[in-house]
Amino acid sequence: MSNKVWITIVIILALIIVALTWILFATPAPRSEAPVQEATSTQPTTAPTPQPTTASSTIPLDQRVVVAIPKANATVAHTFTITGFAPSAWYFEAVFPIQVRDSDDNLIGTAQGRAQTDWTQPGPIAFKAQMTIDASFHGQATLILLKDNPSGLPENMDSVTVPITVK
């Protein structure tokens, strides 16, 4: 091979080595939540410092759900729209279940609250649902928004209720 080919190969390899070295040493290492201690360490362990909480994380999920329509004690038709905001944790695959139950706890209507924006982002996510109630029912009922809980675990359950009247 000619000297030009060898020089080109050496320059390319040098550039690759410089680039890899820069990536390895110039980019910051990922930070862990707690320092790792060796098992043979004789240093006393201390409790981790609590992280500051935001106002929204101290409010229970069910209190962060806002039902804009219908308002509490509103009179609704047998078909009506439900809108509001729910925390992203309420959604699974961009939906969560909604029910309407009569005063005897009989299920008289079901729907799904559908995210109107990207449900994977943190914070309140707008939702909309179209509810249809059994046409033979008239009177007091309860609109129930349920946190979607694909795990089925009781500790992951949450709900919000809104009293309504069906005309």
Which of 51, 111, 57, 110 has its CA nearest to residue 87? 57
- pLDDT tens for 87-144 read 988 899 999 999 999 999 999 999 999 999 999 998 899 999 999 998 999 999 999 9
Residue 48 confidence (pLDDT) above 70: no
Residue 49 confidence (pLDDT) above 60: no
Give CA–CA dist 12/42, Å, rounded.
Answer: 49
pTM value is 0.63
Task: Give the SS3 label for residue 147.
Answer: coil
Using alpha carbons, list the distances in angstroms from residue 14 to 1, 6, 25, 102: 19, 12, 16, 76
Q: Which residue has the higher pLDDT, 161 or 36?
A: 161
The tally of domains found in the chain comes to: 1
Which of 95, 86, 84 has its CA nearest to residue 159? 86
Average pLDDT over all residues of the chain: 81
**88 inside domain:** yes
DSSP 152: -
Task: Find the helix or strand (DSSP H, E) in which 15 lies.
Answer: helix 3-26
Give CA–CA dist 8/16, Å, rounded.
Answer: 12
The whole domain housing 142 covers 60-166
Position 72 scores a pLDDT of 93
Question: Please, are residues 77 and 83 in contact by the beta-carbon 8 Å criterion?
Answer: no
**118 inside domain:** yes
We report the CATH number of the domain holding residue 158 as: 2.60.40.10
**54 inside domain:** no
Using alpha carbons, list the distances in angstroms from residue 9 to 16, 21, 158: 11, 18, 64
Cis ω for the linkage preceding 35 (within 30 of 0): no
3: how many CB neighbours lie within 10 A of its CB? 7
**94 inside domain:** yes
Give CA–CA dist 16/23, Å, rounded.
Answer: 11
**8 inside domain:** no
**90 inside domain:** yes
Position 83 scores a pLDDT of 96
